């Protein structure tokens, strides 16, 4: 099984990349978080890889951070979550926030993730809440809490191609300047877009 790839970044998009290793291009599915961490095309890249084998195909899923790969593997242990949904989940919410939501049994946050309904959210919490001890959560000092609307705005900015740190800073700046927008996704998103330019 392929567990790691290091080579030249041939192409990249928010959900897929091709890494060229020794003249062979590996098609790797990635999360938006990993996409944000990738260097520019043509640069050297290193990815942790999960190889998924089925009767009719072999699929590679790549991660910039080992913690994200471990979380992906935990999600696969849950009935009803396959690799495509797991990578969608990791694209819809930062790994640290996902771990916090699962540990805190925060079903509301989980059901806001595309593809996760109420029953799946309950299953995720039930099956994983005590199995995430080895996955560290970033300390609170890594950025002020930005709330649910802030998390959604952060995800939207990252999906548009902005780097996660720059997007986080823009959202925090927007909330600081206009506290009234903190709970409203659309207003916060627009204020953050203005701050990021």
pLDDT digits (tens, 9 = 90+) for 30-88: 998 899 899 999 999 999 999 999 899 999 999 999 889 999 999 999 988 999 999 99
Q: Which domains does the chain have, with CATH numbers?
A: 4-63 (2.40.50.140), 66-128 (1.10.150.20), 140-196 (no CATH)
Residue matched to tokens 């506290």: 179
- What is the maximum span of the chain, computed from C-alpha positions, in angstroms? 55
| Reported confidence tier of residue 144, pLDDT bands at 50, 70, 90 | low
CA distance 125 to 103: 7
Helix (H) or strand (E) holding 37: helix 32-37
């Amino acid at each position: 099984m392929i567990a790691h790839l290091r080579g030249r970044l041939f192409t990249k998009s928010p959900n897929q990349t091709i890494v060229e290793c020794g003249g062979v291009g590996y098609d790797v599915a990635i999360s938006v978080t990993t996409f944000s961490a990738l260097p520019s095309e043509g640069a050297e890249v290193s990815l942790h890889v999960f190889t998924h084998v089925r009767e009719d195909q072999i699929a590679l899923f790549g991660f910039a951070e080992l913690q994200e790969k471990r979380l992906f593997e935990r999600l696969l242990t849950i009935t009803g979550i396959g690799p495509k949904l797991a990578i969608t989940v990791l694209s819809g919410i930062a790994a640290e926030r996902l771990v916090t939501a699962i540990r805190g049994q925060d079903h509301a946050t989980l059901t806001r993730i595309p593809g996760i309904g109420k029953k799946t959210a309950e299953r995720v919490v039930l099956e994983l809440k005590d199995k995430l001890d080895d996955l560290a959560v970033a300390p609170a000092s890594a950025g002020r809490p930005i709330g649910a609307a802030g998390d959604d705005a952060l995800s939207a900015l990252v999906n548009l191609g902005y780097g996660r740190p720059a997007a986080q800073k823009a959202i925090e700046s927007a909330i600081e300047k206009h506290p009234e927008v903190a709970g409203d996704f659309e207003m916060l998103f627009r204020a953050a877009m203005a701050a990021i330019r």
